[in-house]
Each structure stands twice: as structure tokens, then as C-alpha cells.
Homo-oligomer: A and B are copies of this chain.
């Protein structure tokens, strides 16, 4: 038996990890609901024709009522842990009530099994392109002032681009972090308008906070290049136009205001759209909860916990409430899908001022704490209130799903592989189930783990060198003889692998899926844009 398992594991690991020589394995039928190939360049999906029909009817009735396609509002928080949200077990528990976000969860569909990538840039790449980062090359956070070998956006297509072409007004308000160079900026990649920051809060604070970064800030010769390449500023742009400085940031107090400014921009955008004849796609991408946290005016000590991250969480919740209210005030709430989520798990390396997840690991790891994020789909009249589902949802599905809702799924380009799945009917049908069969979890270019049903099978894992160091001091190691398997219903904290003793029946199923997944790289090769590890 051991030999048998070993042979199977090795065989599939070969397929999964050394993709160049991989071959698609035949799909056995009958045993389980298997995903159905839709098109050769699309991730196979579980066929659910009845709920597709129900969702299509709802959308048709809504279009008739409003005379246009529905709006999409994506609320992406930075580094928010699964447990930060009250409705997911946090809130007051961690000294930061989140009543507005909780109301969305109670009034819509609470998604318990939404998966991101382990860090910022990869998740944002997946959400914008529908492709896992190893395909686009955006496999790790881009760094301020870093010059890439190739522009990832030369041949990637965002959902915003397709929606803009189909008559939507598309906007990014807030954090981009998908390339700062010419050709990589949001208004050059599909967004009709952009207002925000090209990188990330910490790239700005390191130019502003002497207390945290004395080794940089007090050495002008170190700071000079950085300030030239990536000045601390809010920038903006319109499709076809140049990148402009909207506002230079010269103090941490000013930096602390950025989420208020992003909210102002989004609020203005939503108000403008109410008067427009076009549907909109607004990607509201918070600067918070990423370090470093500087309180906006009135927020210092506002949370019961009183720490900066918790005050920032309270501010994020307030902004969510503000934007929902504007949708309501402008009569657009019932014609807008609101999708709330985070770009990765909370960063526990920041202890004690860190986000919270009940799971093992945090940002930067492929343990649940790094990649399982809160997810809420809210749409009064379209999504029944009080729904809760643990159906699988990968944030790359948020490429396909808006396109599905806008009726332009047929505009998805066919010469590249798309990992996302159109989850429109999962979200909209009253008894909707996920159409996703598996989630493939990556760290950079390595397939680390696969989630299937309630199981998670690891090929490689992150080990912490210190108690809670996930991003800064963890190591990525290969497993011994058998994969590690956790039943996430029984062991949500991934404490006790039960692969060999209790999951032999399922391992071949997961390996077969990993094999099929890896085989896609044969026809659709990965890109290297210069983010690979030196020597890697």
C-alpha cells in the first residue's frame, strides 16, 4: 500500500510540479460530480443548468426594470484576515466592531470558502485577469522602484478592459500594485479612470516615517532614488491620458487620509454614474489594512482595542457603510452587485498590531490563514438575505463573474488559459451552489496545495521559523513521502494531517485534478516578467 501511494504521489507530483512534461490524464466518470470542460481555454466547471437558468431570469428581469446592465462594485480590503470581520467571528472579539460589513453579510450571501493568493500583487493579478499568477508572471508583490524585465500588461486582459469595450464605465479607486511603469498603469490596462496609489502604503510610509524607517529616512542618499522612481503621492489618470500627480504626500498625517480620499472619489464616481446612462464597474481597493497604519482624522483610538490596525478596521467598516449609503441614496443599490473581500490573509508578522484569522498561518503562506479570506456578495432583491455557503470561490472567479453578469462571457479571449469560473448563478440563484470543483494554491510558481470538497492536500508547506512569522521568516519546504491532508471541516486549523490514515480514497481524485491543471501549461506556457527568485 505504501509503495502504491508513493508511486501515485510521485507520479502526480511529477505532473503537477514539473509541468513541462505533463500530460492530461483521462477524467474518470461516475464516482463524483466531475467538472465539465466548457472550452479548452477555460477552467472546467461543475454544470448547474437549473441554477444558471434561474440566475439568467433574474438578470433579465432586472435589466428590464433598470434598462441597463447591472453595476459591479468590488470592495477589496488590503491584508484583512478572515477573522477581522464580526460576521466571521471577529469584530468586537478583537476590539473592532464592524457593523456595516456585518450588515452586508446578514443581508446577502456570506461566503466561507473564498480563496485569494498568499500576497497582494498575485491576488490583484488573478482578480483582474482571471488567471493564476504563474501565468501572468505577477507571482509576488512588485516593489517600489523595481524595474521589471517585461511589462506584464503587454498581453494581459483585465475584466475592466472587456467591460469598458462593452459600454461600461470602469474605474479603479485606491491601490493598484500591479506595475508602476509606463504601460502598466491602471488607466492603460482597461480602467477608464483611476485615482489612487500605484503601489502600497508601506512603500509610501518608508519615505515619510523616520521612527519606523530611520535607516532609510535619515540617509538621504538611500532615499533619493526611491523618491525619484516612486514618489509618495496619490496619482490619477484617464484612459488615453498621462499619469498625473493628484497630491503629493509629505507627512504620515496626510498618508493617514488616503482611504478617506479614495472613498471621496468612489462616492463622487457613484454619484456621477447615477446621472450617466452607462452601467459601471468600480474596483474600490482600500489602502488599509496594510501596514503602516496612520489614523485618519477622528479615528485615532476610535476602536475599543485602540491600536492603529483596529482603528483602521473601524475606518474601513465606516467607508463600506458610506459607499452602500451612496448607492442607496442614488437609487442604484438594487442594480449593483457588491462584492466584499480581502487580497490575502492578515499579516501576523506585524504582532501585536496585526490582523486576525482563526486559521494556521497568515499572509505569505498557503496555510488557510494566508489564503482564506472573508467574502460577501450583497445585492438586495437579487441575492436572498441570510444565505451562507462554504462553496469554493477563487478570487480569479471575480474576473469571469462580472463578465457573466454583464452578458459578455463570450468576449473572454480564447488564446490564453483562464482559471476563473463564472459564478453568477452561485451568487444569484436562491439555492445556488458553487461551480468550482477545486482551488489550486500557489506560492510564486510552485503549486503548494489543492482544496477539493472539504479537503486540502499539500505538496509543499510553509514552516514558520518563529512563532508567528509567515512572510518574513518562513521557509517553503517539500514534504516527505505522502502529501499532508487536512479535513477542513474537522480540522480547520490544519493541525493534524490525516492523509494516509483516512484519505487514501480521495488522494487519487486530487492528484488527477492537479494533473489536469498542470497539463494546461503545455499549451499555455507561463510568463517570466522578472519576478522570479534570484537563482530560481
Contact = CB atoms under 8 A, between A and B. Distances in A.
Interface stretch (A41-49, A64-72, A347-355): A347-355
B83 A310 contact: no
A388 B310 CA distance: 18
Interface stretch (A86-94, A331-339, A405-413, A514-522): A86-94
A222 interface: no
B95 A112 contact: no
A492 interface: yes
B92 A490 contact: no
A83 B495 CA distance: 15
A467 B495 contact: yes
Contacts of A388: 91-92
A352 B496 contact: yes
A307 B490 CA distance: 8
Contacts of A305: 454, 487, 489-490
A304 interface: yes
A502 interface: yes
A149 to B, nearest CB: 38
Contacts of A389: 92
A94 B495 contact: no
Interface in A87-111: 88-96
Given A89-B88, A489-B307, A351 B496 contact: yes
Integer count of this chain's copies in the complex: 2
A390 interface: yes
Interface in A476-490: 487, 489-490
A93 B357 CA distance: 13
* Chain A binding surface SS class: loop
A356 B492 contact: yes
A392 to B, nearest CB: 14
Contact of A390 (B83, B93, B468, B496): B93
Nearest to A467: B495
Nearest to A503: B352
Nearest to A94: B489
A145 interface: no
A456 to B, nearest CB: 13
B390 A92 contact: yes
Contact of A112 (B92, B354, B454): B92
Nearest to A486: B352
Interface in A207-237: none
A295 to B, nearest CB: 16
B358 A495 contact: no
B307 A95 contact: no
Contacts of A307: 487, 489-490
A170 B356 CA distance: 43
A498 interface: yes
A268 interface: no
A15 B498 CA distance: 46
Contacts of A390: 92-93
10 contacts: A88-B89, A92-B388, A93-B112, A304-B489, A305-B454, A305-B490, A307-B489, A309-B490, A356-B493, A467-B496
3 cross-chain pairs, A with B, having the tightest CB-CB distances, nearest first = A89-B89, A358-B358, A95-B489
Interface of A: 83, 88-96, 112, 304-305, 307, 309-310, 348, 351-354, 356, 358, 388-390, 454, 467-468, 487, 489-493, 495-496, 498, 502
